[in-house]
Amino acid sequence: MAIALNERTVVMVGGEDRLTFLDGLVTCSTKTLAPGALAYGALLTPQGKILTDLFVHTRDDHLFLDLPASAAADIVRRLTMYKLRAAVTLETTDAAVILGEGPPDPRAVTVSVALDGAVDGFDVGGRSIGVGTPGDAAPYHAARIAAGIPDAVLDFELGDAFPHDANMDITGAVDFQKGCFVGQEVVSRMRHRGTARRRTVRVSADAPLPETGAPVTANGRVIGRLGTTVGAAGLAVVRIDRVKGEVKAGDVTVRLAPPPGATFALAGEEASEGAGA
């Protein structure tokens, strides 16, 4: 079963310079992407904050950027400004983002937690561009929660979050070896100095969680915001150095845990070996 994500929009990037043009702007590598490949990354402000997350779908003669619909107009405007004399074309399309077919989600592959099994009978293994029918995306969101993988808008606010807030250094969305991209200096400095304090964590409870946006508190002090929820499980971006005492999401007592593959720990815990967040 394949469904379409209505909250995502597809922007087509053409022209002979498309791979190198995008490679110099976004956090993931695109210069050597082969047709049929799928990459995940972000476009940042010069100050290192996320303007949009994006999946890069490659075809023989075009790239397709799968990004939040709410950000599409601004991103096309910014890319148009950046292209100058590059041989690049930009066009918003009517194509849909299809779940359940195509290449596997690269975020899950990177953290070694596959989204390619069946969750409640729904195959969330692939992500592609095409024509699809809107459907129930709850199984997809449940799989993301289990893997600790956030989505833009639902889990982190565009224009306000750094890549480390969205665990992009863990999910392979930032290529620290490829060279320059917009915001690289800030993001690299956060990595090398270990200054990231806001992170996406998994949330669990013994009762249904409140809606997205509810405050997460520790001993009554706000430490973050609740993101995606499915029943008693969810995600939240929190200050990991302030997770102490009784933690609640709204009025519900919750437990917080780092995602699989995390290189960070919550306050009072030890980070995984090789942590360098």
Please give the full DSSP string across 201-224, using - where no structure is assigned: EEEEESS----TT-EEEETTEEEE
pLDDT for res 88:
96
Alpha-carbon span 176 to 184, nearest angstrom? 8
Which structural domains are found in the chain, ordered by start? 3-147 (3.30.1360.120), 197-257 (2.40.30.110)
Which of 103, 89, 94 has the alpha carbon at shortest distance from 8? Answer: 94
Q: Please report the pLDDT score of residue 274 as a whole number.
A: 40
Query: Sheet holding 38-44: strands in order across?
Result: 38-44, 50-58, 63-68, 8-14, 89-92
E strands present in 15-151: 38-44, 50-58, 63-68, 89-92, 96-99, 118-119, 122-123, 127-130, 133-134
pTM, to two decimals: 0.89
- What contacts 169, CB < 8 A, 6 or more positions away? 163, 176, 191, 196, 263, 277
CB 123 within 8 A of CB 100: yes
250: phi > 0 → left, psi -120 to 50 → alpha, else beta; which?
Answer: left
106 alpha carbon, distance to own chain's centre: 10
How far apart (Å, rounded) are the C-alpha atoms in residues 77 and 11? 12
Nearest in space to 212 (alpha carbons), one of 130, 116, 141: 141
Confidence at residue 101, expressed as pLDDT on a 0 to 100 scale? 84
* CA nearest neighbour of 199 among 177, 216, 183, 175: 216
Please tell me the predicted confidence (pLDDT) of residue 121.
Answer: 42
In the beta sheet, which residues pair with residue 235?
202
Q: How far apart are CA 15 and CA 219, in angstroms?
A: 55
Token digits of residue 159: 């224009």
**Residue pLDDT tens, the chain, 277 long:** 678 898 999 999 999 999 999 999 999 999 988 999 999 999 999 999 999 999 999 998 999 999 999 999 999 999 999 998 899 999 999 999 998 888 888 887 766 554 555 444 444 568 999 987 888 888 888 888 988 899 999 999 999 999 999 999 988 899 998 889 998 899 988 888 877 899 999 999 999 999 999 999 999 999 999 999 999 999 999 999 999 999 999 999 999 999 988 889 898 675 554 433 3
pLDDT score recorded for residue 137: 84
Tell me what pLDDT residue 1 has: 63
